[in-house]
């Protein structure tokens, strides 16, 4: 039996954990050869070794390191078919303000809006945190698209899948930098897709809702309860559920999808 991704080469950033690792396992199950990037070689190697793939340690904000790794991967494996720009970091800042947010919510529900205290999310956001968030997500995805297109354009085929977020669609007050970066990924996706559609390359974005991965570790129990209330399904998603969408966009069934944005959110309403 020939598997539907047999022999295809997939490069996955942030593949040492969470959604990236689940995607790698799902694509490998259908025959893809996976190259796993992460910040630490140990994290990347653990997943790569499990799946018989390659490991690359670099920071996605380093454009030269990114291009070199993708070039090396394509040289060693002979091609590049699938690029998943997934590496990401959580907005840490929101968790510490949860008590204030809950207190304000009580005042709002009681109709005492004038008594609500400023949360100062934006005022307390440092230049460094803003820069790092935009760099990892938006620059990282830009560099990933560039590195992939260098190989996909001459091939006249390829799939680029950029991991955005529901916060790119419904910005959160507590995470302006994350929301902006994720919204930027959606626009970048559409722009690049329009450029390369005629070259046989599909570029799409996925907006996950809240998925059970280590990214959510900083979120308190109260915060998670507040989030779950806004999920129609009443539960977090599992990385494997998200990986099914990644598999769809990497495979032949999604041939007509490009420049498109797919939510996997369990009915998250923002
Ligand atoms: N888990 C969720 O609820 C959720 C929701 C929406 C979007 N996302 C997005 O999904 C993607 C994957 O997140 P996850 O939930 O699997 O988190 P995770 O923390 O489990 O995995 C992210 C991985 O990316 C790596 N990484 C971080 N910065 C990097 C960098 N600069 N260079 C290379 N690797 C880097 C981390 O080391 C980690 O292994 C992220 O882009 C995240 O924003 C996650």
pLDDT tens-digit profile of 99-127? Answer: 888 899 899 999 999 999 999 999 999 99
Pick from 69, 91, 83: which is nearest to 20 by CA?
83
Domain spans in the chain, listed from the N-terminal domain onward: 9-94+133-264
User: Which of the residue ranges 91-100, 146-155, 197-206 would you say has the lowest mean pLDDT?
Assistant: 91-100
**How far is 41 from 58, CA to CA, in rounded Å?**
8
Q: Measure CA 140 to chain center.
A: 10
What percentage of residues in the chain have a pLDDT greater than 90? Answer: 88
Bridge pairing between strands 261-264 and 33-38: unpaired
Q: Which residues pair with 55 in a beta bridge?
A: 36
Distance (Å) from CA 18 to ligand 1 centroid: 7
Tell me what the pLDDT averaged over the chain comes to.
96
Q: Residue 204: CB within 6 Å of ligand 1?
A: no
The per-residue pLDDT for range 220-241, each reduced to its tens digit, is 888 888 889 999 999 999 999 9
| pLDDT confidence of residue 75 | 98
The per-residue pLDDT for range 8-25, each reduced to its tens digit, is 999 999 999 999 999 999
| pLDDT confidence of residue 270 | 86
In this predicted structure, the answer to whether residue 93 has a pLDDT above a threshold of 70 is no
Q: Within the chain, how many helices (H) and strands (E) appear?
A: 10, 7
Q: Residue 211: CB within 6 Å of ligand 1?
A: yes
Order across the sheet with 33-38: list the strands.
Answer: 54-57, 33-38, 9-12, 82-85, 158-163, 201-208, 261-264
Among 11, 12, 18, which residue has the most ligand 1 atoms within 8 Å of its CB, making it the best to mutate?
A: 18
Pick from 80, 87, 82, 121: which is nearest to 101 by CA?
121
Residue owning the nearest CA to atom 36 of ligand 1 = 14
Helix spans in 113-159 (H): 121-124, 127-134, 140-155
What CATH number does the domain located at 9-94+133-264 have?
A: 3.40.50.720
The band of 139, judged by pLDDT with boundaries at 50, 70 and 90, is very high
Burial profile 29-54: b = 16 or more Cβ within 10 angstroms, e = fewer: eeebbbbbbbbeeebbbbbbeebebb
Active site residues: 178
Average pLDDT over residues 135-162: 98
The band of 219, judged by pLDDT with boundaries at 50, 70 and 90, is confident
Q: Residue 89: CB within 6 Å of ligand 1?
A: yes
In this predicted structure, the answer to whether residue 183 has a pLDDT above a threshold of 80 is yes
Task: Collect all residues with Cβ–Cβ distance below 8 Å to 253 and sequence separation of at least 6.
Answer: none
**How far is 32 from 173, CA to CA, in rounded Å?**
39
Percentages (nearest 5) of helix, strand, coil residues in the chain: 55, 15, 30
Among 12, 19, 230, which residue has the most ligand 1 atoms within 8 Å of its CB, making it the best to mutate?
A: 19
């Amino acid at each position: 039996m020939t598997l539907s991704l047999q022999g295809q080469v997939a490069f996955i950033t942030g593949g040492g954990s969470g959604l990236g690792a689940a995607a790698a396992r799902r694509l490998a199950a259908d025959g893809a050869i996976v190259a796993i990037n992460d910040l630490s070689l140990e994290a990347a190697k653990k997943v790569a070794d499990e799946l018989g793939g390659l490991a690359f340690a670099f920071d996605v904000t380093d454009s030269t390191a990114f291009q070199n790794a993708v070039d090396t991967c394509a040289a060693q494996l002979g091609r590049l078919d699938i690029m998943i720009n997934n590496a990401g970091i959580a907005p840490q800042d929101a968790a510490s303000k949860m008590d204030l947010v809950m207190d304000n919510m009580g005042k709002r529900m009681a109709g005492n809006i004038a008594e609500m205290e400023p949360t100062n999310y934006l005022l307390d956001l440092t230049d460094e945190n803003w820069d790092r968030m935009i760099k990892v997500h938006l620059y990282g995805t830009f560099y990933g698209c560039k590195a992939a297109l260098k190989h996909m354009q001459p091939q006249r085929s390829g799939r680029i899948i950029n991991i955005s977020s529901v916060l790119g669609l419904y910005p959160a007050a507590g995470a302006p930098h994350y929301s902006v970066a994720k919204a930027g990924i959606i626009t970048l996706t559409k722009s690049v897709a329009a450029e390369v559609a005629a070259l046989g390359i599909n570029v799409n974005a996925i907006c996950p809702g809240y998925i059970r991965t280590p990214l959510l570790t900083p979120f308190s129990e109260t915060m998670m309860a507040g989030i779950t209330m806004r999920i129609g399904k009443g539960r977090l998603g599992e990385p494997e559920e998200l990986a099914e969408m990644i598999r769809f966009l990497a495979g032949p069934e999604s041939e007509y999808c490009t420049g498109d944005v797919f939510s996997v959110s369990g009915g998250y309403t923002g």
